[in-house]
């Protein structure tokens, strides 16, 4: 992701529901600030794969909050959270590399566009089913991405270990 896109991702991931959308405000501002700083550090130090996972997690969180708002008939919170989920999905679309990703990138783009359509329709017609469908799709993609990222990490660690001198791999230390 380029720096502009990283800044946009960071802003979306740092977004928290307002007191109106959350139902009540946090009584301790310092706790809120610590959580914000922690999340900011997590985003700034994340690998590209981890950023994608964080984007999925953010979109899932906003879908959950939208579903809760829908159940409470809070149209303001419903709309705000669905728009945030849509913005994250838009960020996921923008981060796709069509040339390097080939058919996978094309298919992910189609899935993301379908999700956007479902969220818009769910918001317009106040249909929880559309939000739940998108939420479930996001969770499936998150889980698949997490598994692929873990395998890539394991492969990288193995390749790194294999490239070390034999004495280092065996734990021998020479002074």
The CATH number given to whatever domain includes residue 160 is 1.20.120.340
> Cα–chain-centroid distance for residue 58?
5
- Is there a domain that residue 61 lies in? yes
Output the pLDDT for position 46: 72
Mean predicted lDDT score pLDDT of the chain: 83
Position 174 in a domain: no
Q: Number of folded domains in the chain?
A: 1
Residue 20's pLDDT is 43
Domain membership flag for residue 106: yes
Greater pLDDT, 104 or 19: 104
Mean pLDDT of 110-115: 98
Instruction: Give the per-residue pLDDT at 47.
Output: 82
d(CA 140, CA 131): 14
Range(s) of the domain holding residue 76: 3-169
Predicted pLDDT of residue 132: 98
Q: Which residue has better confidence, 34 or 104? A: 104
pLDDT at 14: 64
Count the helices and strands in the chain (H runs, E runs).
Answer: 8, 0
Is residue 29 in a domain?
yes
Please report whether residue 122 resides in a domain: yes
Three-state DSSP class for 81? helix
Query: Which pLDDT score, from 0 to 100, does residue 149 have?
Result: 87
For tokens 């879908």, name the residue: 63
CA dist 62 and 65 (Å) reads 5
Could you tell me the two tokens for 30?
């310092």
First to last CA, the chain: 43
- Mean of pLDDT values over 81-90: 98
Any domain includes 175: no
């Amino acid at each position: 992701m380029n720096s502009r896109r990283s800044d946009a991702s960071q802003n979306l991931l740092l977004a928290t529901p307002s007191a109106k959308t959350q139902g009540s405000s946090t009584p301790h501002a310092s706790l809120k600030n610590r959580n914000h700083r922690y999340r900011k550090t997590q985003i700034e130090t994340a690998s590209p794969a981890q950023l994608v996972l964080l984007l999925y997690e953010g979109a899932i969180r906003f879908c959950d909050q939208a579903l809760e708002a829908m159940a409470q008939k809070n149209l303001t919170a419903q709309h705000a959270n669905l728009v945030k989920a849509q913005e994250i999905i838009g960020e996921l679309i923008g981060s796709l590399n069509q040339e390097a990703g080939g058919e996978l990138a094309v298919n992910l783009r189609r899935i993301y566009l379908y999700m956007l359509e479902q969220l818009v329709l769910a918001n317009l017609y106040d249909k929880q089913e559309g939000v739940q469908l998108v939420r479930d799709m996001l969770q499936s993609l998150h889980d698949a991405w997490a598994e692929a990222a873990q395998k890539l990490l394991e492969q990288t660690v193995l390749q790194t270990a294999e490239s070390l001198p034999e004495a280092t791999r065996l734990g021998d230390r020479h002074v």
